[in-house]
Chains A and B, each alone.
Chain A
Amino acid sequence: MRPGSSLEIYGSLLLGLLLYLLPWAGVGLTFRPDFVLLVLLYWLIRAPYSCNVGMAWMMGIVIDLADGSLFGQHALAYIVAAFLALMYQRRVTLFNRLQQAGFVFALLIIAQIVLLIVKLFGGDQPSAWTYFLPSVTGIMLWQLVIYSKIKVSGDENRG
C-alpha cells in the first residue's frame, strides 16, 4: 500500500482544519463532525509510520487555540484516540469496512468522552445528549469518504 506522502498528510490536515474553522452556526454547529480527528485517524490507520501520537497532540493544541478553550483538552482527547488507533492499527487493516467504521466510531466517541471528562473537571455542567451528534455525523462522513474509492486497508486492488 502506498503510504501517502507528507504533502498529502499535511494538506489534508490543513483542509480538515479549514473545514473546522468555517463559521458554523446553529444546527450546523451541532452536527459539525470533528474533521481534524477524522483526518488524523485516517492517516494513523493508513500510514502509521508517518503520523503518530505527537502529530495528534499538535493538532489538538491548534484546535484548542482556534477554539479559545482550555489549553490541552482537545490535545488530550486526540492523543487517547490516536494511541488506540495505533495500538489496533494492524488489526484494523484486516477489518472489513463495517468493522472499520465501528472501530472509528468507537474512537470518535472515546475522544468526546475524554473531552467531556476534562470539561466536567473544569467546572462545566454536563451537556445535552446532542453533545455526541458530531461523532455520528463524523462516522457518516467517514463512510462517504471510504466508499468514494479512498481505501484504508490495502487488501483491495488499489496500490
Chain B
Amino acid sequence: MIRRVTVQQHPPQAFFVRGPSPFARLIFFSALSIVLMAVDSRLHYLNEVRQGFATLLYPLELVASAPVRIYRHVNSYFVDQKTLTQENARLTTFAMNQALDLQRLTNTEAENAHLRSLFEARQKLKPSTELAEILHTGRDPFVHKVEVNIGTQQGVAPGQAVVDGFGVIGQVTRVYPFTSEVTLITDKSLVIPVQVARNGLRAIAFGHGRDNTLYVPYLPTSVDIKEGDKLMTSGIDNTYPEGLTVAVVTRIERDPNSPFAHIICTPAAGTDRRRQVLIITGSLITPPSPITKKASHAPRQ
C-alpha cells in the first residue's frame, strides 16, 4: 500500500522516452528465442518458414559470393598451357581406364539382369543423379556441412545421398528452393552403414567431427579388419546405393583393456576439397523393410 502511494506522489518520468526498458525487452526477446528454439528443435514446425526466409536471403548470399566467383572466373583465364596439357593427359588416361571398365560393366549388367530374372528378383534401377556445385562450407567451423547450389526446384529432397567420383560425401539434410545443405560423412551427427569390401563384414561408421575422419565403434578387438581395408556402403539403409566406397581404414588400435577395437578411417571421397558433387535424386528400389515403413524412410541423422 505504502509503495503505491509513493508511486502516485512521484510518477516515474523518463527523461528520454525510450519505450520499454532494455531489461523488459531482454526478457521478452529471450522468451521468444527460447520458444523458437524449442519449436524448431522438437516440433519441426518452422521448416516452411525457414525455407521462405532463406529464399529471401538467397540474393544476398549470391552477392556475397560474387567476389569469389569472379576471382575463380578470372583465374581460369590465366591457366598456363602446361597445366592444361598435363590435366588433359591425366583426364585422358582416366577416361581410357573408365572406358575399359564401362565395357565390362555393360557385359556384367546384362549378365546380372539375366541372373536376376532367373531369380525373379526385382530389377535395380540405375539411380539418377544431379550435378551440384558447392557454394560454401558451413558457417559454423565445428559442423561439417556444405551448401550446394540446387534445391527442391531441381528435385532434391532431404535424405538423399551425395557422392563424388571417389565415394560418398554425405547426405542432404535440409533443402531450400534453390540451395540445399549437405552434411558430410565426417560430421558428428552422420552415421552410415558400411561393409568391409574384403570380407563383407557389416559395421556402422560414425563421423568423428574432427580431423576429417570417421570411426567404427562397437567392433570386438579380435575383428578381422586391416589397415588399408576399404569400407563400402552396404545398401541396407535404403539411403545410399550399394557398393559405393565410403572410407579407407587408416589406423586400428587394439587395446586389451577395452572390449572394442578403435578403428579410424579416412573418407575416400574428397569431402573437403571437391567443388562439384553428385546428388542421387532417383529413389532406390529396395526390398520392403521388415520394420514399419515410416521409420525406414526417415532421414538418418
State A76–B41 Cα separation when bound (angstroms).
Answer: 15
Please name all residues of chain A whose beta carbon is closer than 8 Å to the beta carbon of B287 when the two chains form the complex. Answer: none
Give the interface segment out of B3-11, B46-54, B82-90, B214-222.
B46-54
Using CB atoms, name the residue of chain B closest to A131.
B142
Q: Is the CB of B57 within 8 A of A25?
A: no
Using CB atoms, name the residue of chain B closest to A58.
B29
Which residues of B approach A to under 8 Å, CB–CB? Answer: 16, 18-19, 22-23, 25-26, 29-30, 32-37, 39-41, 46, 50, 53-54, 57, 60-61, 63-65, 67-68, 135-142, 145, 147, 174, 181, 188, 209-210
- A122: interface (CB < 8 Å): yes
Q: Is the CB of A54 within 8 A of B145?
A: no
Known contacts A72-B32, A76-B34, A86 near B22 by CB under 8 Å: yes
Dominant secondary structure of chain A at its interface with chain B: helix
Q: Is the CB of B37 within 8 A of A80?
A: no
Q: Is the CB of B145 within 8 A of A68?
A: yes
Q: Is the CB of A29 within 8 A of B65?
A: no
Q: 0/1 per residue, A26-54, Cβ < 8 Å to B?
A: 10011000000000000000000100111
Please name all residues of chain A whose beta carbon is closer than 8 Å to the beta carbon of B68 when the two chains form the complex. Answer: 22-23
Known contacts A71-B39, A86-B22, A127 near B181 by CB under 8 Å: no
Number of A-B contacts (CB under 8 A): 122
Known contacts A72-B40, A79-B26, A125-B188, A66 near B139 by CB under 8 Å: yes
Q: Is the CB of A18 within 8 A of B136?
A: no
What is the CB-to-nearest-CB distance from B176 to chain A, in angstroms, rounded to a whole number? 9
Dominant secondary structure of chain B at its interface with chain A: helix
Please name all residues of chain A whose beta carbon is closer than 8 Å to the beta carbon of B34 when the two chains form the complex. Answer: 72, 76
Q: Is the CB of B41 within 8 A of A122?
A: yes
Please name all residues of chain B whose beta carbon is closer than 8 Å to the beta carbon of A21 when the two chains form the complex. Answer: 60-61, 63-65
Q: Is the CB of B60 within 8 A of A72?
A: no
What is the CB-to-nearest-CB distance from B183 to chain A, in angstroms, rounded to a whole number? 10
Q: Is the CB of A18 within 8 A of B60?
A: yes
- A118: interface (CB < 8 Å): yes
Q: Which of B19, B135, B136, B142 has the most CB of A within 10 A?
A: B142
State A122–B40 Cα separation when bound (angstroms).
Answer: 11
State A5–B26 Cα separation when bound (angstroms).
Answer: 24
Q: Is the CB of A69 within 8 A of B33?
A: no
Please name all residues of chain B whose beta carbon is closer than 8 Å to the beta carbon of A139 when the two chains form the complex. Answer: none
State A79–B33 Cα separation when bound (angstroms).
Answer: 10
State A91–B210 Cα separation when bound (angstroms).
Answer: 43
Please name all residues of chain A whose beta carbon is closer than 8 Å to the beta carbon of B35 when the two chains form the complex. Answer: 72
